[in-house]
Structure 1
Amino acid sequence: MRDAGVFSIKRALPRMSWTPKNLFNLYARTAGPKRREITFKSANSTLFQQRWKSKAVVRAYHGDFINEKIFKRWYLPETLPDVRPKRKVLGDDKASLEEFALRKKKEQDLAREEEKKGMAPVGSLMFAEVERRIDVFLFRCCFAHSIYEARRLVIHGDVMLNGVKHQNANTRLAPGDMVSVNPDAIRFFKPPNGDSWYDVNGYDEMVKKKEAKEAKKAAATKAAEPDPAQPTPAEQAIIDAHLAKEGAATEAPAEETQPSKTDVGLTPFYLPHFASPWLFIPAYIEPCFTTCSAIYVRHPTARPGYSEIPTPYDADGEVVRFAWEWYVERRPRIRTDTQRARMPEDRARAQMEDINEGRKSLRRDVLRKAAQRRI
């Protein structure tokens, strides 16, 4: 963790964490009193101040553990996808052919639906490279309760990438990569220390025990009070003898206690309090909680009205747009060979380089064989 005060209630900056303080900060920043600071409907602040504030709150959630210079150099895309409608070229027979093939009506209906949804929120795609990081990937898979815990799992050697132990938390995954986590290293699989925690799977049993204890205590209190209708000792002896005789006749073998059907096959999870808002899986991840592994299926994308990159702010709102405008003017794009050598590992880039190298070697082999045949 870079800063001990990352969950400061005074600053109220949401982070990638399940802690109750972070949930309160999320409320305060998106729906509470702190929301006014990022609602730029008045002219009280300059354009520079609006962009600066937007950049600060967005970077607090998306990669606050990444150095700002490294983020601007290696994690920002060149451009965002252009989702504006393309202009139609007049003077060809494409329109008449589409009308003849009954495609024009379908395209018009599809265009109306997309117009209702609006354009795709591509502003959030500026963080697509951050989502490819292996530590962010583990947090999105719900294998760690915070991004800082996910980095600890990777650095301490509890994570395998494609079956091989991997300890570089800066690695960016390629589509098809499988990441596995050692179950013994996942903290919410183990009961934490403290009296404020309880097993959610045994909640019903805990409630029944509590009710039985209270009923027993109430019965003991009632028995201590004098009862005017209590029988005499002689009458009580006759009643006890009669009950013992009936009990001996109807006595049945005691039933063996069997475990409840609901307790069979359950995995004990000891989640932090108020963790339910964070329990979701993005569409580009295919997890398997039985084996504690997940597959990075593809890169995150966006469609009209929906973005696959989770963010506490509007995916195409003014906060994300101002943050993009800030970085467009200030990102360094000069990359020398020395800087490229320090670039965080990018498995997709490495795969493309291997493919290109394989094509070049194949081309050289073909040319060499052709030259030998000529001789």
Structure 2
Amino acid sequence: MRDAKVYNMKRALPRMSWHPHNLYNLWRRSFGALEKITNRVEYKETLNWRRWTAKTLLRAYHGDYINEKIFKRWYLPENLPDVRPPEATSLSATSELNKWALKDEAAEKAERLAEEEKKKGLAPVGSLMFSEVERRIDVIIFRACFAHSVYDARRMVIHGSVLLNGKKHTNPNTRLAPGDMVTVDPKAIRFLQPRSEPTVEDVEEVEEVAETEGKSTEESASDDAAESERSAETESASESEEELEKSTRRKRSQANRKPSHLLPGHDLTPFHLPPYASPFLFIPAYLEPSFSTCSVVYVRHPTARPGYSEIPTPWDADGEVVRLAWEWYSKRRMRIRSKSQLARMPENRQEA
């Protein structure tokens, strides 16, 4: 399997998954022992090594199953956004020129605008390097919370459990266009499967255990010498028997009770998410999911504005890891696409 050792504890690379091992690796990279290695303060390594490490961390989360050559040729944007801060803004230059020309009011206005732009900051456009990866149908299924991981989403698509605009689709490499609707078979979604309720056999086993425990408590109480202690133990045994009877009745009622989605008049689709999915449980703004129909609409392409990036990532969208990865790909990206390469291009519905 291609995803056999993706949650390796030694490498501790964050993946696009809700697996508890992945959550532990993410904690180690963010707040644990590997935080100093990820966000270095003193740089003893070369610049090229730091760029390669940042690229590895980003690619482990964004499309780690995509070959590196294919990623650089087809999934990097044609115009890679510039994440480097400008050396000198035009507003500061105009303010200095106005001061030299003795135009105090114009200089003050230019300085005020320059301060506002500095506070506002640049948009975290470095994360838009992976906007083409976010358009993939398997990534969209994972972002819409229909799968535990992107690997499960790929298997759903390959096994024919996904419809694209009402038609069966088995190519997980497809990049969607705005307005496309993806529908997932509810039988293939693990979140929709009812939780295992206690059966009648389990309840009978609990009753047998309760009877044996009650008998043992009675025998131990009869063996005691003091009558006062014996009476106290019998009272405690009766209380424990009552508690066991209550628990067995509760479990029997749960076993006989139907799941909530089978009750009449219940229109909502029940989702039984794992408790460790809460750090990843959010829907990006460019998706419109419908959990009652198990479908999601790709509304538009992801964007970024100052202080906010729509592409989910475990790293800071305007941080050093993204900047170093951008520097790596800006010098090593592939721009030549021959006719034979164009014939092998992954399906892109935007160009169709």
TM-score, structure 1 normalization: 0.68
One-letter code aligned to 2:305: R
| 1:86 to 1:295, Cα distance in 2 relative to 1, 3 A | farther
1:182 and 2:185 correspond: yes
One-letter code aligned to 1:12: A
2:336 to 327, 331, 334: 334
**Equivalent-residue separation in structure 1 for 2:272 and 2:44 (angstroms):** 46
Aligned to 1:139: 142
Count residues in correspondence: 295
Instruction: Give the alignment's Cα RMSD to 1 decimal.
Output: 3.8
**1:66-85 per-position Cα deviation (integer Å, ceiling 9, x unaligned):** 00000000001123446879
Aligned-residue offset at 1:30: 1.4
One-letter code aligned to 2:335: R
| 1:81 to 1:331, Cα distance in 2 relative to 1, 3 A | closer
SS in 2 for 1:6: coil
Asked whether the equivalents of residues 135 and 169 of structure 1 are also in contact (C-alpha less than 8 Å), the reply is yes
**Equivalent-residue separation in structure 1 for 2:297 and 2:52 (angstroms):** 36
**Equivalent-residue separation in structure 2 for 1:296 and 1:158 (angstroms):** 18
Map 1:6-85 → 2, pairs under 5 A: 6-81=6-81
One-letter code aligned to 1:57: L
Aligned to 2:174: 171
Aligned to 1:321: 323
**1:73-99 per-position Cα deviation (integer Å, ceiling 9, x unaligned):** 000112344687984799xxxxxxxxx
Asked whether the equivalents of residues 14 and 25 of structure 2 are also in contact (C-alpha less than 8 Å), the reply is yes
Aligned to 1:285: 287
Aligned-residue offset at 1:112: 6.8
Asked whether the equivalents of residues 300 and 308 of structure 1 are also in contact (C-alpha less than 8 Å), the reply is yes
| 1:117 to 1:67, Cα distance in 2 relative to 1, 3 A | same
Asked whether the equivalents of residues 54 and 322 of structure 1 are also in contact (C-alpha less than 8 Å), the reply is yes
Asked whether the equivalents of residues 269 and 291 of structure 2 are also in contact (C-alpha less than 8 Å), the reply is no
| 1:64 to 1:162, Cα distance in 2 relative to 1, 3 A | same
Question: How many percent identity over aligned positions?
Answer: 61
**1:264-321 per-position Cα deviation (integer Å, ceiling 9, x unaligned):** 6375544345122221101110000000001001000111111000000110111011
Aligned-residue offset at 1:108: 11
Asked whether the equivalents of residues 80 and 122 of structure 1 are also in contact (C-alpha less than 8 Å), the reply is no
Asked whether the equivalents of residues 131 and 311 of structure 2 are also in contact (C-alpha less than 8 Å), the reply is yes
SS in 2 for 1:275: helix
Aligned-residue offset at 1:110: 9.5
Gaps of 5+ in 1: 91-104, 200-209, 231-257, 351-375
Structure 1 runs of 4+ off > 3 angstroms?
Answer: 80-90, 107-117, 216-228, 262-273
SS in 1 for 2:138: helix
TM-score, structure 2 normalization: 0.73
Gaps of 5+ in 2: 95-108, 199-205, 231-255
Asked whether the equivalents of residues 9 and 25 of structure 1 are also in contact (C-alpha less than 8 Å), the reply is yes
**Which entry has the higher C-alpha Rg, 1 or 2?**
1
**Equivalent-residue separation in structure 1 for 2:218 and 2:125 (angstroms):** 70
Asked whether the equivalents of residues 40 and 50 of structure 1 are also in contact (C-alpha less than 8 Å), the reply is no
Asked whether the equivalents of residues 138 and 154 of structure 2 are also in contact (C-alpha less than 8 Å), the reply is yes
**Equivalent-residue separation in structure 2 for 1:114 and 1:271 (angstroms):** 42
**Equivalent-residue separation in structure 2 for 1:4 and 1:56 (angstroms):** 18
**1:75-131 per-position Cα deviation (integer Å, ceiling 9, x unaligned):** 0112344687984799xxxxxxxxxxxxxx9x9999877643422111101000000
One-letter code aligned to 2:315: Y
Aligned to 2:132: 129
Aligned to 1:251: none
Asked whether the equivalents of residues 125 and 309 of structure 1 are also in contact (C-alpha less than 8 Å), the reply is yes
When structure 1 is superposed on structure 2, of 110-119 and 70-79 the one drifting more is 110-119
**1:11-67 per-position Cα deviation (integer Å, ceiling 9, x unaligned):** 100001111000000001111111222223212111011001001111000000100
